[in-house]
Amino acid sequence: MGKINIEELKTTANTIRQDIIKMLFKAGSGHTGGSLGMADIFTVLYFKILKHTPEQTNNRYRDRLILSNGHICPVLYAALARANYFPLVKLKTLRQINSGLQGHPHRGSLPGIETSSGPLGQGISQAVGMAMAGFMNKQNHHIFCITSDGEHNEGQVWEAIMTAHKYKLDNLINIIDNNGIQIDGLTKHIMPLGSLRKKYESFGWHVMEMNGHNIKNIINTLEKAKKIKKPVAIIANTILGKDVSFMENQYVWHGKAPNEEEKNKALKELQNAK
């Protein structure tokens, strides 16, 4: 993990952010803020942490990544394309009829998509099921689940969290996109979550916290998490709309695509941020 590697990952994350802006502008709809906010974490996952083989997507020994908050799929699609799961040109088809890049991921429509997602709260249950199967089959791989802070309003999430503790699923890592924002405002105003750390710990999980935009911190945290012999929850503190000044921490960008002027301004900022 030398300096050059870290810089390469930063450059890749910046490129993925530019991909996201271009995709969403062309589509004319979609979720910009959360996609930008998770670009650093997805970059580290696909280019440093995950055990995966793009040329052999059904390798039974691969790590699985489950995107529960499926509305931020532009970051997943861009990461998969940059990791050579499919040609980059497909990114231009986001949300088009008959495209594999739908507004929420659909299993089987693209290489590398592990589950279909859309309704919030279901991803962690799917991840628990996959982790149980891996545990029972004595397979040495990890299940990484991406959840949003807001979807912890769903009761199903906590049922899955209890189940993971009961069966001691030490192959499960839940990364929580903790940006404090959901579609119609701040999470603390819509439905206060209290302390996620205390809640997860009370349910028997090991809890870690990381800066979701510090590449080195992300790598170190994820590598440590893989060695913990309990289900792990990682509270990833992120900024919605990261690196685009007029989008950062603005809840209106949760579910909004940029117009041409906004696209050009965003790309200029990202290109200057390299």
Q: What is the pLDDT of residue 138?
A: 87
Q: What is the pLDDT of residue 1?
A: 46
pLDDT, tens only, 38-81: 999 999 999 999 999 999 998 989 999 999 999 999 999 999 99
Domain extent listing, the chain: 3-272
Residue 185's pLDDT band (boundaries 50, 70, 90)? confident
**Average pLDDT over all residues of the chain:** 95
Q: What is the pLDDT of residue 107?
A: 93
More confident residue, 185 or 18: 18
pLDDT, tens only, 189-198: 889 999 999 9
Beta strands in 130-243 (DSSP E): 143-148, 172-178, 181-182, 185-186, 206-211, 232-237
Q: By mean pLDDT, which of 12-26, 181-195, 249-263 is the weakest?
A: 181-195
CA distance 167 to 170: 9
Pick among 3.40.720.10, 3.10.105.10, 3.65.10.10, 3.40.50.970: CATH of 3-272:
3.40.50.970
CA distance 236 to 213: 9
Residues 269 and 245: beta-carbon distance below 8 Å: yes
Residue 182 sits at the vertex; the CA angle it makes with 103 and 107, to the nearest 5 degrees, is 30
| Residue 8: its H or E element | helix 3-27
Q: Which residues pair with 208 in a beta bridge?
A: 234
